Amino acid sequence: MINTYYIFFIAILVSFVSTPFVKKLAKAINAIDVPKDERRVHKKPIPKLGGLAIYLGFVTALIFKNGPITRPEEGILIGSFIIVIGGFIDDLIDLKPWQKIFFQIAAASTLIAFGIKISMITNPVSNSNSYIKIGYLLGIISTLVWIVGITNAFNLIDGLDGLAAGTGIISASTMALIAFLNGQSRIEAQVLSLILAGAVLGFLPYNFNPASIFMGDVGSQLIGFLLAAISIEGAIKSASAVVIAVPILAFGLPIYDTVFAIIRRKINGKPIMQADKGHLHHRLLAMGLSQKQAVVTMYLISAVLGLMSVIVMQLTNTRAYTVLAVVILIIVIVAFKFGLFNHKE
């Protein structure tokens, strides 16, 4: 078997090498993103389906990891395959929102069937690392909401070249560090996080501005789904981690941007699933930043939030949730100043 850290490079290599072939496939089956409206930033048709290369890198590296495939990993493999199928179809024919949700719920349900489920939360009013077990039904509902929510959050943030990919790498790296700090009990989450980071990193050279291929829904949903699943295994299942606070900070950028989008659309009387140009990356472009500058700015924001999640994990529950509350308050104030709540087309 291969050393844990070597599989990181295997994921990079497989993803990097397979991307040109995926690009040819996308062109052959006409999976092309044509800029049909002003919301799209690119000006010429770009092939999609780049997420297939990420998936190949992830699966290949997971097969070569030390030890046999565990039951939770089997669930992640099957669930991610369902996400890939749904995303592939969506990139070809544009599924309706409820159809996309169907695939996401099916994938999340697979995780639950294989034992990947939220079963506890930390006690926010305790200074020790005590936690509260939640009931079976509430655990299932919480897991479904978390998986579907994070999957869609990364799907929505995929609006600029390299944005979702870079954010995914930062989030996966954060989860790997958190799992490492949690010790041997979280080694599985550490390995999965490193594999995912490597698979996305191998794809990023083709996707960074100017992108020659987009990851498509098959990629953005896959990254969100895998991060949500890994976070349950790595942070949410760990009694020593500050459950909820850690992943909410680690995945902060796509989570908050999605929440602000929902609020903004409700305020403007628009359907929640209707796309608009009020996302943070649109506001940065409107301020005069180039695509690269906007993406790097959002990388920095994501990295700072990731660092905050690592710091929070070292604190007592009460202090950790206090930090989370302060961070959220600051983000809300900044978002209000940027017009992320009331922006109109």
Burial string for 281-297 (b: 16+ CB within 10 Å, else e) reads bbbbbeeeeebeebbbe
| Neighbouring C-beta atoms of residue 241, cutoff 10 Å | 26
Handedness of CA 338, 36, 275, 255 (dihedral sign): negative
pTM: 0.90
pLDDT for residue 84: 97
| Neighbouring C-beta atoms of residue 314, cutoff 10 Å | 10
pLDDT digits (tens, 9 = 90+) for 157-207: 888 899 999 999 999 999 888 888 776 556 788 899 999 999 999 999 999
pLDDT for residue 129: 58
pLDDT band at 335 (very low <50, low <70, confident <90, very high): confident
pLDDT band at 235 (very low <50, low <70, confident <90, very high): low
| Closest by CA position to 311, among listed 246, 237, 239, 244 | 246
3-class DSSP state for residue 241? coil
pLDDT for residue 240: 42
CA–CA separation, 136 vs 149, rounded Å?
20
DSSP letters spanning 59-94: HHHHHTSSSPPPHHHHHHHHHHHHHHHHHHHHHHH-
Q: Where are the alpha helices (DSSP H) in 236-316?
A: 245-250, 252-267, 280-286, 291-313
Q: Is it the case that residue 271 has pLDDT exceeding 80?
A: no
Q: Is it the case that residue 86 has pLDDT exceeding 80?
A: yes
Q: Is it the case that residue 345 has pLDDT exceeding 60?
A: no
pLDDT band at 242 (very low <50, low <70, confident <90, very high): very low
Cross-strand partners of 133: 120
